[in-house]
Chain A
Amino acid sequence: MNETAAGRQSTSAESAPAREPVIEVRNLETYFGDRHILKDVSFDVLRGEIFVILGGSGSGKSTLLRHIIGLLRPSGGSIKIFGHETVDIGEEEWEKLRRRMGVLYQGGALFNSMSVGDNVALPLREFTDLPEATIGIQVRLKLGLVDLAGFERLRPDQLSGGMKKRAGLARAIAMDPQVLFFDEPSAGLDPIAGAGLDELILRLRATFGMTIVVVTHEMESVKKIADRVLMLFKGEAVAVGRLDEVMKNPHLRVQQFFHRQADEEKVDPRQYLDYLTAGGRREL
Chain B
Amino acid sequence: MPGREEALAALGRAALHAVDVVRDVWALLRDIAFWLFIAPWKRQRAGVRWESVIEQGVRIGWDAIPIVVLINFFVGMISALQSASLLKRFGQLLLVANAVALSTTRELGPLLTAVIVAGRSGSAFTAEIGSMKMAEEVDALSTMGLNPTRFLIVPRVLAMSIAVPLLTLAADFMGIFGGWLIAVTVVDLGSWQYLRHTADAIDMGDVMRGLTKSCVFGGIIATVGCYLGVHVEGGAEGVGRSTTNSVVVSIFLVIFANLIFTAFFYMIE
Query: CB within 8 Å of B: which residues of A?
Result: 69-71, 91-92, 94-96, 98-99, 101, 103, 105-107, 109-112, 122-123, 126-127, 168, 171
Contacts and interface: CB of A to CB of B under 8 A. Distances in A.
A105 B147 CA distance: 17
A70 B147 CA distance: 13
Given A71-B142, A107-B135, A109-B135, 12 more contacts: A71-B143, A92-B43, A94-B145, A98-B142, A98-B145, A99-B144, A101-B143, A103-B139, A103-B140, A109-B136, A122-B146, A126-B144
B45 interface: yes
B143 A126 contact: no
A91 B135 contact: no
A105 B144 contact: no
Contact of A126 (B43, B135, B140, B146): B146
B137 interface: yes
Contacts of B143: 69-71, 98, 101, 103
Contacts of A168: 140
A95 B145 contact: yes
Q: Which of A95, A103, A123, A168 is most buried by chain B, counting CB atoms within 10 A of its CB?
A: A95
Given A126-B45, A127-B45, A96 B145 contact: yes
Interface string B12-47: 000000000000000000000000000000010100
A107 to B, nearest CB: 6
Nearest to A97: B145
Interface residues of B, number: 14
Contacts of A94: 145
B interface majority secondary structure: loop
Contacts of A123: 144-146
A98 B144 contact: yes
Contact of A122 (B45, B132, B136, B144): B144
**Interface pairs A-B: 9 shortest CB-CB:** A109-B140, A105-B136, A98-B145, A95-B145, A109-B136, A103-B143, A109-B137, A99-B145, A69-B143
Contacts, number: 52
Contacts of A69: 143
B241 to A, nearest CB: 15
A127 B145 contact: yes
Contacts of A92: 43
A30 B139 CA distance: 19
A130 B143 CA distance: 21
A101 B145 CA distance: 9
28 contacts: A69-B143, A70-B142, A71-B139, A71-B142, A71-B143, A92-B43, A96-B145, A98-B143, A98-B144, A98-B145, A99-B144, A101-B143, A103-B139, A103-B140, A103-B143, A105-B139, A107-B136, A109-B136, A109-B137, A111-B132, A111-B140, A123-B144, A123-B145, A126-B45, A126-B144, A126-B146, A127-B45, A168-B140
Contacts of B137: 109-112
Interface in B105-155: 132, 135-137, 139-140, 142-147
A127 B44 CA distance: 10
Contacts of A106: 136
Contacts of A96: 145
Nearest to B146: A126
Contacts of B140: 103, 105, 109, 111, 168
Contacts of A111: 132, 137, 140
Contacts of B132: 111
Contacts of B144: 98-99, 122-123, 126, 171
A91 B27 CA distance: 14
A106 B132 CA distance: 13
Contacts of B146: 122-123, 126
Nearest to B49: A126
A91 to B, nearest CB: 7
A93 to B, nearest CB: 11
Contacts of B136: 105-107, 109
Q: Which of B135, B136, B142, B145 is most buried by chain A, counting CB atoms within 10 A of its CB?
A: B145
Contacts of A127: 45, 145
Nearest to B55: A113
Contacts of B135: 105, 107, 109
B129 to A, nearest CB: 12
Contacts of B145: 94-96, 98-99, 123, 126-127
Contacts of A99: 144-145
Nearest to B140: A109
B9 to A, nearest CB: 15
Interface string B152-187: 000000000000000000000000000000000000
